[in-house]
Structure 1
Amino acid sequence: MPQSQVILDKLLEKIRFKSLTYMNFHSCHYIRKLPDLKKTTPNIKELNLCGCKNLMEVHESIGQLDKLEKWDLTDCIELQILPSCLTMKSLKHLSLYRCIKVEKFPNMPQEMEGLKYLNLCGTAIKVLPPSFANLIGLHQLFLGSDFYLGHLPGSIYKLQHLCEIYLYVKFPKDVEIGRQVLCNSYGGFSNNGFRSLNVLFLCFSKNGLEIDFILNSWCPLSLKCLFIRSEDYTLPKSIIRFNKLHSLDIRDCHFIQEIPKLPKCIEKVDASNCFSLNSQSLSKLFLQV
């Protein structure tokens, strides 16, 4: 066991830091296992483990830290074992961004109203537990990766405070995924969607029909910002129905040929690197914006 890990374990074993509220282990490459912190630092509010590239396991007790508000595990590329349950009443921010070996998200047996920000992008999590719906206060959700299609529980529609969703799904070019499959994968869409949704970011390498399906099923007419990255997408004429939309970002949609009539409230359009846009469509766009 690396010396720094031994020192950390002995330090926490012998000393009780009851008044400690902030711990920063950013880029401590020799930490392999985070020990029991509930007994030693029960009042911890912020735990920064970002860049701990050799961290493999987090002790079960971490999921029970009642005072913890921010927990950052970004770029813990060897991390595999998380607490089986999260019962953190005060947690507001949780990032597992680019934890590429994390395959299972913890169960949440109780409602966690405090969690506002959750980033699971770049993980190996394919299926979220049904108890995911207990994150009733969630505002920002980041999901997906370059190498899988994630599955959401049908109960996700209970998260009616979601105002920003960032969905990254990159299908292999030789695979066709039908609308019904996507519907099943994401728990069965409903016409109610997310009523508080203001910002939607969709990164699909292909399958433009599924993007249309998400727009029609998830988004209220009050959607304000729409970001789309796709190789084969064409904006539908129905885009005009989003009568609060003020920002449209379709940069790098290389094969989009035409931009239909946009809502009158539009203030910003980014169509950089949309090489296939014809001059007629560009002229109409200049007249609109």
Structure 2
Amino acid sequence: MGNIGELSLSKLAIKELPVSFQNLTELHRLHISCDFYRLNSIVLTPKLVAIIVINCKDWKWVKSKDGEEVGSTVFSDLRYFELNSCNLNDDFFSAAFMQLATVTSLHFREVNITFLPECIKEFHCLNYLNVTRCKRLEEIRGVPPNLKIFRAIHCTSLTSSGSSMLLNQQLHEVGETDFIFRGGSIPSWFDKQSRGPSISFWFRHKFPPKVLCLTVAPLLDLVAEMIRPMVLINDKVQEHTFKPIDEVRLELDHMHLFGVRELHFDDGLMEMPLEKEWKHVEVTYEGLVDTSLIKAIGIHVVKEESMGMKDIRFDDPYTSTKVWPCNFFIAFLPFFFLFSLALVLFTSFMAYPTQL
């Protein structure tokens, strides 16, 4: 029994697992889909790498058989932890929660938590966090420093103030992030924003090392509707491999914040030949039947020493250079008209006493 490496438990009519479960010392992967009355941390065997639990009625942290205090044991091999459709509440985030600090992928789907704790900032290995359909989730108190992928879809109680940490500029500039969560306001630190399904900028010499894009939309199913982000450079589509999002229709606006390089371009944007001419970049979406689905798009080019901002423009460098005199004349035409009218009236007024 101690040599079992993988175990799947399904539809068992028992209330909880026995303490002897800890004897599965070689267990690496565990999948549980049972209506347990209570599940406790004895399932976290010493060599466990991944655990998925579905439909658990309760979770309880317990002391180890050696009598160590709750929270003192860290499961160094554990990488994947998922609780799905479980009756989990905020008590889960006690001191013992730190036993999961080594996981790289953490999933709480359809559970009753109301916040993510501040201590999750200590999860330095965590790069994927999913709290989709946690409809009572109201606040994000901490964000893991190396988080790459975050999903909070259909979290209907999550407010803009409760999710403000997710829009931290430094977090996204340093990391290669891909976040989806409820919201509809593009942060002020973005360089440019546009209503509708597309946005543009210009560069010369080489493509910027890091470009962030943020989309606001109530629809994020890029499979069923055949909608996916698309990048064009001088009207030429840049082919890329896109990982679809597994959600269909959303009742509320959600934001999708991602790095353009995370689209995994086939030709490699960073390997484009160096040229002095300005290149036009357009980020848009293909397959849109109704363009109103994309309400707004924002773009942010991360400033780096290797590339000065003089090589980045957010307005058309050719149009703004060539038509500047015309634009200047049009802009100041009303002032010229008022000045001329005032001059005529003044001249007439000065001439009137002379005629008398």
Q: TM-score range by the shorter chain?
A: 0.5 to 0.7
What is the alpha-carbon distance in structure 2 between the residues aligned to residue 251 and residue 144 of structure 1? 13
State the Cα distance separating 1:90 from its structure 2 match.
0.8
CA RMSD of aligned residues (A): 4.5
Aligned counterparts of 1:82 and 1:66: Cα–Cα separation in 2: 18
Matches within 5 A, 1:114-153: 115-145=103-133, 147-153=135-141
Letter in 2 for 1:192: Q
C-alpha distance in 1 between matches for 2:188 and 2:123 = 21
Number of equivalences: 222
Asked whether the 8 Å contact 2:138–2:162 carries over to 1, the reply is: no
1:87 maps to which residue? 74
Q: How does 1:68-217 map to 2 (within 5 A)?
A: 68-74=48-54, 76=55, 78-83=56-61, 85=71, 87-99=74-86, 101-104=87-90, 105-106=92-93, 107-109=96-98, 112-113=101-102, 115-145=103-133, 147-154=135-142, 156=143, 159-171=144-156, 182-184=160-162, 190-194=168-172, 195-202=174-181, 204=182, 207-209=183-185, 212-213=186-187
Query: Is 1:66 aligned to 2:46, yes or no?
Result: yes
Partner of 1:8: none
Tell me, which stretches of 5 or more residues in structure 2 are unaligned?
A: 63-70, 191-208, 221-228, 254-259, 261-279, 295-356
Q: Deviations over 1:69-106 (max 9, x none)?
A: 010013x1x4222326572111111111222x111334
Change (3 A) 1:201 1:124: same
Pair 97,222 (structure 1): closer, same or farther in 2 beyond 3 Å? farther
CA–CA separation in structure 1 for the residues paired with 2:140 and 2:171: 14
Q: TM-score, normalised by structure 2?
A: 0.49
Output the CA distance in 2 between the equivalents of 1:112 and 1:254.
34
Q: Displacement of 1:67 after TM fit?
A: 0.8
Contact 1:121 1:142 in 2 (8 A): yes
Amino acid in structure 2 at the alignment position of 1:193? L
Q: Quick one: distance in 1 between partners of 2:150 and 2:139? A: 15
In the superposition, relative to structure 1, how do residues 119 and 208 fare at CA in structure 2: closer, same or farther (>3 Å)? same
SS for the counterpart of 1:108 is: helix
The answer to whether the Cα contact below 8 Å between 1:121 and 1:168 also exists between their aligned partners in 2 is no
Q: Structure 1 residues 252, 68: CA separation in 2 closer, same or farther (over 3 Å shift)?
A: closer
Q: Percent identity of the aligned residues?
A: 13
Distance in 2 between the 1:150 and 1:138 partners? 21
Q: Is 1:45 equivalent to 2:28 in the alignment?
A: yes
With over 3 angstroms needed to count, the CA separation of the structure-2 counterparts of 1:275 and 1:109, relative to structure 1, is closer
| Matches of 1:268 and 1:161, distance apart in 2 | 28
Q: Does 1:33 align with 2:33?
A: no
Q: AA paired with 1:33?
A: E
CA deviations over 1:18-55 (Å, ceiling 9, x no partner) = 22222111x32413212225642122111110x31x11
What one-letter code is carried by the residue in structure 2 that aligns with 1:90? D
Paired with 2:26 and 2:38, the residues of 1 have a C-alpha distance of 21
User: Residue 37 of structure 2 is aligned with which of 36, 56, 59?
Assistant: 56
Contact 1:98 1:122 in 2 (8 A): yes
Q: Tell me by how many angstroms 1:215 deviates.
A: 9.2
Whether the aligned pair in 2 keeps the contact of 1:139 and 1:161 (CA below 8 Å) is yes
TM-score by length of 1: 0.59
* Distance in 2, Cα, partners of 1:142 & 1:214: 26
Partner AA of 2:169 in structure 1 = N
Matches within 5 A, 1:243-258: none
CA distance in 1, matches of 2:162, 2:155: 17
| TM superposition shift of 1:137 | 0.9
Contact residue 53 and residue 82 of structure 2 kept, 8 A? yes
Q: Relative to structure 1, is the Cα distance of residues 208 and 270 closer, same or farther in structure 2, using a 3 angstrom cutoff?
A: farther
Structure 1 residue runs without a partner (length 5+): 1-16, 232-238, 257-261, 279-289
Residues 33, 41 of structure 1: alpha-carbon distance in 2 compared, 3 angstrom cutoff: same
Give the number of the structure whose alpha-carbon radius of gyration is greater: 2
Residue 264 of structure 1: CA displacement?
2.5
Q: Output the amino acid matched with 1:161.
A: N
Which residue does the alignment assign to 1:285? none
**Separation of aligned partners in 2, 1:225 and 1:208:** 10
1: CA distance between counterparts of 2:16 and 2:189?
A: 42
1:269 aligns with 2:264: no
